[in-house]
């Protein structure tokens, strides 16, 4: 049914690891003919086959369990198990094979549960449609699906919740971008310069975005954290440069080009050293790959290392160029005519 839903690719059932297990199914009519209840047969058979702890033995401060168990010869094969003698209420014995069916069948090693019910997951990739739309269509089709008694199928809320989480992240990112623009305008005193610095954050994280498909995609937690860290680093270093350039620009002995050049010379060592120290710290997790314990740190490290290259380039090249261009444009604007001159001309 899932394979016919538009947008669903390669649905597959969760693999079950099984092991050979002895199964004993009581024949109710045969057991009743010997005066046995199903529980009596199961208890005696499990005692002889699996063992029953009846006490403990203490020796030299050690505790040993005392277990009643059938001998190895009684558990060697299915025919031996069928020959086990079960006590009857009348004091006699009956072979297990006469009151039950003994067989070896595969049984799962671990049984997964959802809430309190045993469960098996059926997973699939989604392509060409949103996860929420696919989940809604699959849910509607499951309502018309006929299943055996006590079986049911449902779409877990992970797909729809994940889609909602992505929308929440997008809304939060938009709010953060607006607040960042306001903060940058207050710090730089220029809407144009604030917008230029904010736009520069996009190429600053381009390196991390490029390598993201290699480490789980842009939506993985490690990559998202790395991108936000790169944005914060680029924003801070750009503000440090702009503030220093503005301080030097107030000096009448320095022109705009000289102020930008000197500010760049002062901030470049700190920018480069920060990138090198960060790269040295993250080199080991990036090289070691998906080693146990580094599953989340590896995509973060790889995205950070690639993003540091574009981040340094933007801070040391793009931001100074934009600052100088905006500064020149502001200086080239015509000066406002004093109000007194206008009144004199009117007179």
pLDDT, tens digit, 9 for 90 and up, residues 34-87: 899 888 888 888 888 888 899 999 988 899 999 998 888 887 888 888 888 888
CATH topology of domain 161-332: Multidrug efflux transporter AcrB transmembrane fold (1.20.1640)
Whether 197 has a pLDDT exceeding 70, the answer reads yes
Of 201, 185, 129, 200, the closest CA to residue 160 belongs to 129
What mean pLDDT is predicted for residues 232-243? 85
What mean pLDDT is predicted for residues 149-178? 76
Question: What are the two backbone dihedrals, phi and then psi, of residue 319, each rounded to the nearest 5 degrees?
Answer: -60, -45
In this prediction, residue 206 has a pLDDT band, given cuts at 50, 70 and 90, of: confident
Q: What is the pLDDT of residue 295?
A: 67
Q: What is the pLDDT of residue 334?
A: 46
Q: What is the pLDDT of residue 201?
A: 80
Q: What is the pLDDT of residue 99?
A: 92
- Per-residue pLDDT of 4-35, as tens digits, reads 888 888 889 988 888 888 888 999 999 998 89
β-pairing, 117-118 vs 113-114, is: antiparallel
CA atoms within 13 A on the CB side of 332: 7
Write the CB contacts of 12 (distance below 8 Å, at least 6 apart in sequence): 122, 123, 124
Q: Return residue ranges of the chain for CATH 3.30.2090.10.
A: 2-143
Integer Cα distance of 66 and 70 in angstroms? 13
Q: What is the pLDDT of residue 347?
A: 44
- Per-residue pLDDT of 87-130, as tens digits, reads 888 889 999 899 999 898 888 888 888 878 889 889 888 888 87
Q: What is the pLDDT of residue 335?
A: 42
Whether 166 has a pLDDT exceeding 70, the answer reads no
CATH number for region 2-143: 3.30.2090.10
Q: Return residue ranges of the chain for CATH 1.20.1640.10.
A: 161-332
Integer Cα distance of 114 and 156 in angstroms? 10
Terminal Cα distance for the chain, rounded? 88
3-class DSSP state for residue 108?
Answer: strand
- One DSSP character per residue, 8-44 reads EEEEEEPP--EEEEEEEEE-HHHHHHTT--HHHHHHH
Integer Cα distance of 303 and 296 in angstroms? 12
Write the CB contacts of 234 (distance below 8 Å, at least 6 apart in sequence): 200, 201, 204, 205, 311, 314, 315
Q: What is the pLDDT of residue 262?
A: 86
Of 284 and 55, the structure prediction assigns the larger pLDDT to 55
Integer Cα distance of 344 and 278 in angstroms? 63
CA atoms within 13 A on the CB side of 160: 10
């Amino acid at each position: 049914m899932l394979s016919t839903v538009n947008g669903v690719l390669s649905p597959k059932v969760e693999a079950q690891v099984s092991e050979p297990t002895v199964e004993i199914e009581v024949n109710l009519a045969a057991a009743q003919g010997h005066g046995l209840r199903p529980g009596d047969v199961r208890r005696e058979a499990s005692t002889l086959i699996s063992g029953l702890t009846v006490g403990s033995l203490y020796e030299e401060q050690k505790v040993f369990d005392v277990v009643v168990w059938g001998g190895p010869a009684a558990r060697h094969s299915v025919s031996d198990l069928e020959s086990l003698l079960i006590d009857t209420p009348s004091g006699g014995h009956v072979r297990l094979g006469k009151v039950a069916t003994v067989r070896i069948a595969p049984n799962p090693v671990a049984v997964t549960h959802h809430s309190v019910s045993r469960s098996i997951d059926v997973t699939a990739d989604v392509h060409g449609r949103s996860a929420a739309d696919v989940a809604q269509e699959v849910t509607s089709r499951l309502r018309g699906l006929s299943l055996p008694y006590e079986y049911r199928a449902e779409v877990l809320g992970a797909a729809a919740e994940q889609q909602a989480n992505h929308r929440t992240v997008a809304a939060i990112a938009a709010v953060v971008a607006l607040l960042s623009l306001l903060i940058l305008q207050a710090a730089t005193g220029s809407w144009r310069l604030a917008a230029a610095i904010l736009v520069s954050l996009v190429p600053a994280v381009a390196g991390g975005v490029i390598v993201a498909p290699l480490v789980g995609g842009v939506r993985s937690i490690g990559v998202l954290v790395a991108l936000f860290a790169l944005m914060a680093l680029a924003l801070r270093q750009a503000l440090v440069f702009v503030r220093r350039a503005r301080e030097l620009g107030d000096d009448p002995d320095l022109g705009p080009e000289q102020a930008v050049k000197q500010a760049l010379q002062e901030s470049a060592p700190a920018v480069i050293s920060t990138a090198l120290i960060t790269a040295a710290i993250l080199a080991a997790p990036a090289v070691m790959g998906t080693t146990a314990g580094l599953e989340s740190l590896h995509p973060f490290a790889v995205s950070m290392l690639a993003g540091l290259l574009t981040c340094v380039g933007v801070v040391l090249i793009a931001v100074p160029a934009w600052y100088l261009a905006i500064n020149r444009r502001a200086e080239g604007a015509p000066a406002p005519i004093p109000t007194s001159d206008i009144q004199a001309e009117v007179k």
